[in-house]
Structure 1
Amino acid sequence: MRISVSSDMDEPVARALVGELRERGHEVRAHGALSPGADPRWAVCSEAAARDVADGTADQAVVCCWTGTGASIAANKVPGVRAALCTDAYTADGARRWNDANVLALSLRLTSEPLLREILDAWFAGRPSDDPEDRANVDRTARLDHGRTGT
């Protein structure tokens, strides 16, 4: 899978993320502090990774900042992106299952390397639900990208 990764800081867990993804066989495209010479500001690098997903350059993305909040906000401003801030494996599974999330947001402050592996295991094992209500909710968020909800 092609995965874009961004981080506003070159922290050990961000480097571990890139290594873990490559070890799992993914093709990684790095943004921000993980890419020499790139703009490391969280709003800029998170947007870049999210745009890779929106334009099909990447299948998914992982965006990181100190709390994960700013990275998730920036990523969610890109139409077609459904970013979820996940601080545990259960949330990562639910984000994939019920929300069909395509961008994982992580907190550099809260995520240890063992927790990172648990979150990634759940994220990649999770599959979008076929439940009609779940699909209707995801479809509604897609319509929000275009400024309409159509109750």
Structure 2
Amino acid sequence: MKIAFGCDHGGFVLKAEIIEYLKKNGHEVMDFGINDGHSVDYPDYSLPVAECVSAGQADFGIVACGTGIGISIAANKVPGVRCALLSDTFSAHATREHNNANMMALGGRTIGPGLAVDIVDVFLNTPFSGDERHQRRIDKITAIEKKYSK
């Protein structure tokens, strides 16, 4: 799979562990930064990942900031993106199976690298169920997005 990754200074601590896991498992990584721990604005790193996923240039996107909150909010402004903030493996499984999420956000100050890698593993290896009820709900989300996108 092709995975787009981006983070700010708050998510930088997770970056090396996650990218090492991804590459070790045969995934191609598109790295949108950052490459050191200097303070930056998370929307600048969330946007290119979200645009890449929305355009179909990556299968999934992973973003990280201090809490994962701000960077996930920014990602979800891009049409076609369903970015879930994750801090446990149950939610990682559920958001793929039920919401067909195509991006995930992590908090570098809220979870450690070991848990982050476990969450990434579950997220990437859980397929969307395709159940009619889940697709119907996703279609309703898409309709809301279209209504308010100009």
Contact 1:6–1:49, Cα closer than 8 Å, also in 2? yes
CA distance in 1 between counterparts of 2:89 and 2:35 reads: 24
Residue 47 of structure 2 aligns with which residue? 47
- Of the structure 1 ranges 3-12 and 83-92, higher mean CA displacement relative to structure 2 is found in 3-12
**Structure 1 position 11, deviation (Å):** 2.7
Equivalent residue for 1:17? 18
Query: 2:35 & 2:48 partners in 1: Cα distance?
Result: 13
* TM-superposition CA deviations, 1:55-106 (whole Å, max 9, x none): 1111110011000000100000000000000001001001101110000100
SS in 2 for 1:146: helix
Q: 3-state SS of the aligned residue for 1:4?
A: strand
Contact map agreement 2:12 2:64 (CA 8 A) in 1: no
Deviates more, 1:10-19 or 1:57-66: 10-19
**Corresponding pairs, count:** 145
Letter in 1 for 2:108: L
Instruction: Map 1:2-151 to 2 at 5 A.
Output: 2-9=2-9, 11-34=12-35, 40-147=40-147
Cα distance in 1, alignment partners of residues 2 and 146 from structure 2:
26
Q: Which structure exhibits the higher relative contact order, with contacts defined as CA atoms closer than 8 Å and separated by 6 or more residues? A: 2
One-letter amino acid matched to 2:35: L
- State the identity as a percent: 33
8 A Cα contact 1:95 1:101, kept in partner: yes
* Structure 1 contact 32–42 (Cα < 8 Å) conserved: no
Deviating runs (4+, > 6 A) in structure 1? Answer: none
User: Which runs of 5 or more structure 1 residues have no equivalent in the other structure?
Assistant: none
The root-mean-square deviation of aligned C-alpha atoms, in Å, is: 1.7
